[in-house]
Amino acid sequence: MERKVCIIAGGMSRWGAREGSQRDFFQEAAKACYEDIPGLNPKDIDGLLVASAMTERTSYQTHLAPLVAENVGVQPKNLCARVELLCGSGSSAIILAFAMIKAGQADVVMVVGGEKLNTPQKWETFYSQLASVDHDWDGPQGIGLPPPAFAMMAKLHMKKYGTRKEHLAAVTVKNRRNASRNPKAQFQTPVSLQEALEGRMVVPPLTLYDCCPITDGAAAVILAGKEIAKDLTDKPLVYIRGTAQASLSNMSANIPNLTTWDSLRIAAKQAYGKAGIGPQDVDVAMTHDCFTISEIIEMEDLGFCEKGEGGRFVFEGQNDLGGQVPTNTDGGLLGCGHPFGGTGIRQGLEVMKQLRGDAVQQVPDASIGLTHNLSGLIAAHTLVVYGKEAA
């Protein structure tokens, strides 16, 4: 019989442009995670998955999982591995941990992920991102650098659907305000709509405020089977109800549409089906707002609003606190930052808190939560659906 799987604890380091090493951030995240579940002995953790996209490039460290296991005080007996899917690494690791526990191959799995991206020569990190696309074809054209690619998407969305710069700026205002209430977030100061509109131009129409930052930090969560979870924590259990991933193309020439993300629509349909819900049932969402246009398109392709209505949807506050589907309540990528391997785990941590009822900015009576990551040049989309009740 397949086991029900719960997310039972989580924690994160302080995120930002930080002194310290990747190792330091993993240890901080693990410590915060342990503090969230005092009844757990680290020796009870029999599986470890480590999510990190650029550890070789920015930390000069490969064979990462055994190192992290030793650093965070676990001795995994059933599972010890690293997971890499660029921005989707953390969520992918959660999916794999979920599958291992569900299949009975592990009992208690820690998932920890993060990066050290602010290197002494920060330009190295930006140019390392050229390796996230086809290195022989798209990379030499500079397409692997995210701002130009997402600027194209924003321009096309504006032309096709009438999306305005004010719509983009509204995403930043919301997420930076949410981050200002999150003590672990990179950005602690809200911005006004006018400030967001007048930000330094990066690639038209995207200003600095439309782009998520380069970030150092890590996050960690612990997953366990339902029966074991009951013995480990007296906090409300949060279940993983459904997961999905989809990838239809990688090269820019093969992407069918820059303003409708077919991979996301496919993954969303699969995740909703496995979870036994529809988009109207989602109470809180953490989506991949690497750029403001991303969150707008995600509102559409996740089914929260009609195609082309995403700009107006966010501008009218429908994905803000008190709206139809509060989104990125902890600040998202635009506010918290984006240490690639840590983002999906941070999202899972925030949804867990929302469904337990102890989030900083609590969505009243939240019972279904969703996380979403895109990775590469919108090449892969990863979703996890969480619930107060099992599917």
Q: pLDDT (tens digit, 9 = 90+) per residue, 333-364?
A: 999 999 999 999 999 999 999 999 999 999 99
Residue pointed to by tokens 């330094």: 200
| Pair 89, 168 in one domain | no
Domain annotation covers residue 81: yes
| Pair 339, 350 in one domain | yes
Domain annotation covers residue 126: no
| Pair 315, 369 in one domain | yes
| Pair 195, 95 in one domain | no
| Pair 372, 289 in one domain | yes
| Pair 248, 338 in one domain | yes
| Pair 329, 225 in one domain | no
Residue pointed to by tokens 């290197």: 119
Structural domain for 203, as ranges: 138-213+241-387
Domain annotation covers residue 130: no
Domain annotation covers residue 128: no
| Pair 115, 149 in one domain | no
| Pair 23, 106 in one domain | yes
- Quote the pLDDT of residue 1: 66
- Quote the pLDDT of residue 321: 98
| Pair 57, 205 in one domain | no
Number of domains in the chain: 2
pLDDT under 70: residue ranges of the chain: 1
Domain annotation covers residue 289: yes
| Pair 102, 193 in one domain | no
Domain annotation covers residue 133: no
> pTM value?
0.98
Domain annotation covers residue 108: yes
Domain annotation covers residue 258: yes
| Pair 179, 307 in one domain | yes
Domain of 293, CATH number, reads 3.40.47.10
| Residues that are catalytic | 87, 338
- Quote the pLDDT of residue 124: 82
